[in-house]
């Protein structure tokens, strides 16, 4: 029997691959991982209806702390874990694969598109991206700035930076955590606006990323309601990107010809009027 991690791709049910669909159809148990990414154009009920199977939501506690249970189940059954995007883009899933290998549970991974490669949609060339950065939601008394250093380093090397924006799903407050109460906070997805605000906050002391730096804001990439807007950080701060998921690309100081053309195509100024509409490319 096998543990299969199936990437769901960028948004809708039909972004699954035929190979992924077959794995789901052959599965005895199907989980949906919900804390490293999120479904855009679909939801649990829609997936269940589409696949004709019951699907169990798997949160961080289930996948990280109680994964022995899933591995044990995979000894006797075909178990599928559905992951939005590509399964191995998050460390957690590399970890569970490794545990499976060690425990002699057969593992299969069915890849799919993720923001890491689909960001090519912005017209910014993938080979010009430096280190990927995760921007964490600042808390009171907790505002780490390593993401800022990495963006600066990429800019100095004339490279783009893909900033993945924080997701908080099924998080517990410190009070509930202490009291071991399974009471969860509502999910929070960082917006492009909050990301820019946090960059600005760090920049007040550091002064290395000007608000006139060029960037591309991306929302719901690959879905019918995708929105891509290019502009300065200052301009993008004013744009309403709508529902999650959002990502932000900080551009290299110099753009190549094709990149410049795309930047103009997606430009804040030129698309201000039709910005609320869907963007297919």
User: Which of 67, 89, 198, 247 is the binder for its own copies (CB under 8 A)?
Assistant: 89
- Indicate whether 97 belongs to the interface with its own copies (CB under 8 A): yes
- Indicate whether 217 belongs to the interface with its own copies (CB under 8 A): no
Q: Which residues are bridge partners to 229 per DSSP?
A: 217
- Indicate whether 211 belongs to the interface with its own copies (CB under 8 A): no
Q: Are strands 227-232 and 55-58 parallel, antiparallel or unpaired?
A: unpaired
User: Which of 6, 15, 192, 195 is the binder for its own copies (CB under 8 A)?
Assistant: 15
- Indicate whether 25 belongs to the interface with its own copies (CB under 8 A): no
Angstrom distance (rounded) from CA 94 to CA 83: 12
CA distances from 94 to 24, 90, 102, 249, 276 (A): 20, 7, 12, 25, 38
Q: Nearest CA to 200 among 229, 162, 238, 230?
A: 238
Query: Is the CB of 237 or the CB of 262 nearer to its own copies?
Result: 262
- Indicate whether 38 belongs to the interface with its own copies (CB under 8 A): no
Angstrom distance (rounded) from CA 226 to CA 186: 24
115 marked as binding residue = yes
Angstrom distance (rounded) from CA 121 to CA 57: 30
Site for its own copies in 143-162 (CB under 8 A): 153, 157, 159
Which contacts of 197-204 are long-range, i.e. CB under 8 A and separated by 24 or more positions? Answer: 197/237, 198/135, 198/138, 198/143, 199/135, 199/148, 199/151, 199/233, 200/233, 200/237, 201/138, 201/143, 202/143, 202/145, 202/148, 203/148
- Indicate whether 107 belongs to the interface with its own copies (CB under 8 A): yes
- Indicate whether 108 belongs to the interface with its own copies (CB under 8 A): yes
Angstrom distance (rounded) from CA 192 to CA 101: 38
User: Which of 28, 57, 185, 261 is the binder for its own copies (CB under 8 A)?
Assistant: 261
- Indicate whether 262 belongs to the interface with its own copies (CB under 8 A): yes
Of 52-60, 66-74, 122-130, 198-206, the window that binds its own copies (rule: CB under 8 A) is 122-130
- Indicate whether 275 belongs to the interface with its own copies (CB under 8 A): no
State the binding site for S-adenosyl-L-methionine. Answer: 10, 86, 114-115, 165, 221, 246
Give me the residues that bind its own copies (CB under 8 A), please.
7, 9-10, 12-19, 21-22, 86, 88-89, 91, 94-95, 97-98, 101, 106-109, 111-114, 116-118, 120-121, 123, 125-134, 153, 157, 159, 222, 258, 261-262, 265, 280-281
């Amino acid at each position: 029997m096998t543990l299969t991690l199936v990437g769901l791709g960028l948004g809708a049910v039909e972004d699954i691959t035929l190979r992924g669909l077959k794995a789901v159809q052959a599965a005895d148990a199907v989980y949906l991982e919900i804390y490293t990414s999120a479904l855009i154009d679909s939801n649990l009920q829609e997936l269940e209806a589409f696949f004709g199977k019951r699907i169990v939501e798997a949160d961080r506690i289930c996948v990280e702390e109680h994964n022995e249970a899933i591995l044990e189940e995979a000894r006797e059954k075909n178990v599928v874990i559905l992951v939005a995007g590509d399964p191995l883009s998050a460390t957690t899933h590399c970890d569970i694969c490794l545990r499976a290998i060690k425990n002699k549970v057969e593992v299969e991974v069915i890849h799919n598109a993720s923001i890491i490669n689909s960001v090519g949609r912005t017209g910014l060339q993938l080979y010009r991206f430096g280190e990927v950065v995760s921007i964490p939601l600042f808390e009171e008394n907790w505002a780490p700035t390593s993401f800022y250093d990495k963006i600066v380093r990429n800019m100095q090397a004339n490279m783009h930076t893909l900033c993945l924006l924080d997701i908080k799903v099924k998080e517990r407050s410190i009070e509930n955590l202490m009291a071991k109460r399974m009471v969860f906070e509502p999910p929070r997805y960082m917006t492009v606006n909050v990301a820019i605000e946090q960059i600005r906050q760090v920049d007040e002391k550091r002064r290395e990323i000007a608000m006139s730096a060029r960037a591309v804001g991306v929302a719901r990439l690959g879905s019918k309601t995708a929105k891509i807007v290019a502009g300065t950080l200052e301009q993008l701060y004013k744009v309403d990107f709508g529902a999650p998921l959002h990502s932000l690309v900080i551009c290299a100081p110099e753009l190549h010809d094709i990149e410049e053309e795309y930047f103009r195509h997606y430009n804040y100024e030129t698309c201000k009027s039709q910005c609320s509409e869907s963007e297919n490319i």
